[in-house]
A and B are shown apart, each in its own frame.
Chain A
Amino acid sequence: MSYYFAMLLIYTLSAVKKYPEKFETLLSGLNGISGASLYVVKCKEISAVVSDIKKADLIASRSIVLEYAEVIDNLAKLFTLLPMRFGSVMESIDAIADMLERNYCEIQLNLLKVEDKLEFGLKVFCDSEKLKEELLTKTKDGIKSPANPAHEIENSVFREYVNKKLKEHRLEELVLVYVDSVIAEINSYLSFLNADSKIKKLPSASVMIDAVLLLPKGRKNDLIQAAGDLQNQYPGLSFVMTGPWPPYSFVEIAIK
C-alpha cells in the first residue's frame, strides 16, 4: 500500500454481518477514484471502505463525483452501509480507526436504522398558476372581495391594495390546504408500506412536494404501484420517482 499521498478518502461505513468473503471479493473487483485500489479500515465489525486520494482528485468535478457514487452504489446493492459525503478525507489509517472507535455506537445505531432498506426520491411537480386557477374555480364562492363599508370611499387605493393582498393570502391558504391533502394521501400509502419519509412542502414554484422515502427492500414494487395509483388519482400533477439510492438522506450522524 502506498502512503505517498498521505490522504485517504472514505466512501462508506458498514457492518458486514453476513458473507464477509463476498464483501472482500466485491471490493477487489471495484476501483476507487482514478482507478485507486479500495481497501478496508476496521474497528470491531465496522468497516470503512477507503482509497488513497490525490489532491487533484478531490476537486468535485462531475466525473469524479460519479466515480465516487458508483463505488457506493455497487456496495449498497449487496450490503447495508452508510454513504459518506464526498470529500471525507482523513490523513491516516490510524486516524480513521480512531474515528470509528470514537463513533462506534452512533454508527451502529444508524446502520440498524437503514438495515435492508432502500431510499427513493419522490417529487411532485405542478403548474402552480394552473393549480391556483383550478382551486379558485373549485371554491364554491370563489374568493370575493369583502363588501365596502358604506362610509368608505369605493375606489380607495388603500382598499384595493388590502383586497388584493387578502385575495393572495386566501389563495395561498387554498394551495397549502391542497398540498396538505396530497401529502396526507401520500402518507396513507407510506404507512401501508411501512416507510419512513422526509417531506418538504413547496420547495420551489414548480415543485409541490419533495420527499425522500426509506422502505424495506422487498416493498419496492409496492411503492411503484402506490406512485402509479397516486398519479392516476391526481392527473393534474406529475409524480416522479428516483431510486433506489443508498440511504444518503437518512443518515443522521455527524462524525466527531
Chain B
Amino acid sequence: MRENVIDQSKDITILELLDRVLNKGVILTGDIVISVADIDLVYLGVKLMLSSVETMEQLKSGKPIKKPILGK
C-alpha cells in the first residue's frame, strides 16, 4: 500500500484548502453577501469583501446598491 499518495506537500494542500474555502461550500445569495461563485477570490478577495461590506452598509442606510466590483 502506498501511503504517500495522500499528499503531504504543504503548498498543494494550502492551495486546495484556499480553493475550497473561497470557491466552494454553501453560497449565501442576496444583497449583502459575496455572490461570485466562480471568480478567483484569492486575487479578488479584498475588493469583493470590501464591496460586500459596502453593499451591506448601503442597504442598512437605505441608499441604492452599487454593483459589486468583479474586474481585476
Asked whether, in the complex, the Cβ of B56 is within 8 Å of the Cβ of A83, the reply is no
A60-B45, A91-B60 given; A248·B24 CB < 8 A:
yes
Question: Are the C-beta atoms of A60 and B26 separated by less than 8 Å?
Answer: no
Asked whether any CB of chain B lies closer than 8 Å to the CB of A256, the reply is yes
- A228 near B2 with CB under 8 A, answer yes
Task: Tell me the dominant secondary structure on chain A's binding face.
Answer: mixed
- Contact code string B49-72 (vs A, CB < 8 Å = 1, else 0): 110110010001000000000000
Assuming A7-B56, A84-B28, is B22 touching A242 (CB within 8 A)? no
- Of B6, B16, B20, B42, the most chain A CB neighbours within 10 A belong to B20
B1 contacts A255, C-beta separation under 8 Å: no
Q: Is A85 an interface residue (CB 8 A)?
A: yes
Of the 9-residue stretches A64-72, A156-164, A174-182, which lies at the interface with chain B? A64-72
A197 to B: closest C-beta gap in Å: 15
Interface code B3-36, partner A: CB below 8 Å = 1, 0 otherwise? 1011101001110111011111111111011100
Check B18–A62 contact: CB distance below 8 A. Answer: yes
Q: How many Å from the CB of A123 to the closest CB on chain B?
A: 8
| Of B9, B13, B45, B60, the contact of A59 (CB 8 Å cutoff) | B45
**Which residues of B sit under 8 angstroms from A228, Cβ to Cβ?**
1-3, 5
Q: Is A254 an interface residue (CB 8 A)?
A: yes
Q: Is the CB of A65 within 8 A of B18?
A: yes
A173-229: which residues lie under 8 A (CB-CB) from chain B?
224-225, 227-228
Q: Chain A interface residue count: which class? A: 35 or more
**Tally of chain B residues near chain A (CB < 8 A):** 38
- Assuming the contacts A60-B49, A87-B33, asked whether A255 and B26 have C-beta atoms less than 8 A apart, the reply is yes
What residue in chain A is nearest B29 (Cβ atoms)? A254
Contacting pair A87 B25 (CB below 8 A):
no
Q: Is B24 a contact partner of A240 (Cβ separation < 8 A)? A: no
Q: What is the CA–CA distance of A68 and B45 in the complex, to the nearest angstrom?
A: 14
Partner of B7, one of A60, A65, A241: A241
Flag if B29 contacts A59 (CB, 8 Å): no
Contacts A7-B56, A87-B48; is A227 near B5 (CB within 8 Å)?
yes
How far does the Cβ of A82 sit from chain B's closest Cβ, in whole Å?
Answer: 5
B26 x A90 contact (CB < 8 A): no
A31 in the interface (beta carbon within 8 A): no
A242 and B6: CB pair below 8 A? yes
Q: Which residues of A contact B45 (CB under 8 A)?
A: 59-60
Q: Is the CB of A242 within 8 A of B16?
A: yes
A83 to B45: give the CA distance in the assembly, Å: 18
Across chains A and B, which 6 residue pairs bring their CB atoms closest together, nearest first? A60-B45, A228-B2, A248-B20, A248-B24, A227-B5, A85-B25
With A83-B24, A239-B5 already in contact, 8 other A-B pairs whose C-beta atoms are closer than 8 Å? A58-B49, A59-B50, A60-B22, A65-B18, A72-B21, A85-B21, A89-B28, A253-B27
